């Protein structure tokens, strides 16, 4: 029985979501945004674990958001892992926030959002982040979109070239600049394609597996913005092998997390 058949029959499929958030967001109602509701949703879906950054860290007070992240990680060890969010517009906070949270049990990397914070990923204000991630071989989930604009495929190529030890997750897979994003993942051993929002593009998952390899594709959903079962369905009904599906849904994320946790 295929993974798609299991999903269709309501059977559980093992998966990890590497791109989640937490808490309310301005003007948008998300029923699963509270932590307890997210855990209940994860239980219902059979999600093994979620790696998140709170909305408060991205769109508000990064210090408060990172505190909220650590609290969630500590309340649900092994189910919730966290990214330390960095806003380079507050340079005096960058090093202290990384020192405070990186190395804490369950904190597995760094989250940046060059678009929301209006600072290019290649800007000097991000240099301490990239240097720390390079030195410690950390995961960095960056929002990426398109070809240019501060977080596009061309910007990420510069980062990958300069910091080859960073485990760089291309959030949204540089949405729209598919060819360039796939080339990055194929060329650089530590660059990964993260599926949030990209999963619905017809034929893209097959293209990723063919040109970059299933070992370079990571499941993400933006939960609680979107129901993770939608990307699960897109993966399990894609025209790829069961082994490739398992890489995307679980194996790649588990390997990256275990590297950080060790």
| Band of residue 5 on the pLDDT scale cut at 50, 70, 90 | confident
How much is the average pLDDT of 61-86?
97
Mean pLDDT value across residues 92-107: 97
Question: Is the predicted pLDDT of residue 12 greater than 80, yes or no?
Answer: no
pLDDT at position 17 is: 98
User: For residue 258, what are the contacts with CB-CB under 8 A and spacing of at least 6?
Assistant: none
pLDDT in tens, 166-204: 999 999 999 999 999 999 999 999 999 999 999 999 999
pLDDT digits (tens, 9 = 90+) for 199-246: 999 999 999 999 999 999 999 999 999 999 999 999 999 999 999 999
Query: What pLDDT is recorded for position 86?
Result: 98
* % of residues, the chain, pLDDT over 90: 91
Write down the mean pLDDT value for the chain: 95
Instruction: Give pLDDT tens digits for 111-127.
Output: 999 999 999 999 999 99
pLDDT for 1 beyond 70: no
What percentage of the chain has pLDDT greater than the value 70? 100
Residue 57 has pLDDT above 70, yes or no: yes
Largest CA distance in the chain: 54
Residues 6+ apart with CB under 8 A from 142: 111, 112, 113, 114, 121, 151, 156, 168, 169, 170, 171
Burial 5-29 (b: 16+ CB within 10 A, else e): eebeeeeebebbbbbbbbbebeeee
SS3 at position 137: coil
pLDDT the model gives residue 236: 94
Q: Is the peptide bond before 224 cis (omega within 30 degrees of 0)?
A: yes
What pLDDT score was predicted for residue 9? 74
Domains of the chain: 3-261 (3.20.20.140)
101 has pLDDT over 80: yes
Over residues 73-84, the pLDDT tens digits come to 999 999 999 999
Q: Please, which pLDDT band fits residue 71 given cuts at 50, 70 and 90?
A: very high
Pick from 128, 123, 92: nearest CA to 110:
128
Q: Is the pLDDT of residue 27 over 90?
A: no
Whether the predicted pLDDT of 92 surpasses 70: yes
């Amino acid at each position: 029985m295929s993974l798609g058949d299991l999903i269709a029959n309501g059977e559980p499929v093992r998966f990890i979501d590497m791109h989640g958030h937490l808490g309310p967001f301005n003007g948008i109602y998300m029923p699963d945004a509270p932590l307890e509701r997210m855990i209940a949703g994860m239980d219902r879906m059979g999600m093994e674990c979620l790696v998140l950054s709170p909305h408060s860290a991205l769109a508000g007070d990064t210090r408060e958001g990172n505190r909220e992240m650590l609290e969630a990680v500590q309340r649900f060890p092994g189910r919730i892992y966290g990214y330390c969010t960095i806003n380079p517009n507050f340079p005096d906070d960058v090093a202290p926030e990384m020192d405070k949270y990186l190395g804490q049990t369950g904190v597995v990397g760094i989250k940046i959002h060059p678009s929301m914070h209006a600072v290019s990923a290649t800007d000097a204000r991000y240099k301490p982040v990239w240097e720390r991630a390079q030195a410690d071989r950390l995961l960095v989930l960056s929002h990426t979109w398109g070809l240019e604009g501060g977080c596009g495929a061309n910007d990420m190529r510069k980062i990958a070239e300069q910091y080859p030890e960073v485990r760089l997750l291309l959030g949204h897979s540089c949405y729209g600049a598919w060819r360039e994003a796939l080339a990055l993942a194929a060329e650089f051993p530590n660059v990964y394609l993260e599926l949030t929002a990209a999963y619905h593009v017809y034929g893209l998952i097959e293209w990723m597996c063919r040109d970059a390899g299933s070992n370079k594709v990571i499941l993400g959903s933006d939960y609680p913005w979107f129901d993770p079962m939608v990307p699960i369905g897109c993966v399990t009904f894609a025209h790829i092998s069961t082994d490739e599906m398992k890489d995307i849904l679980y194996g790649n994320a588990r390997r990256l997390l275990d590297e950080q946790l060790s």
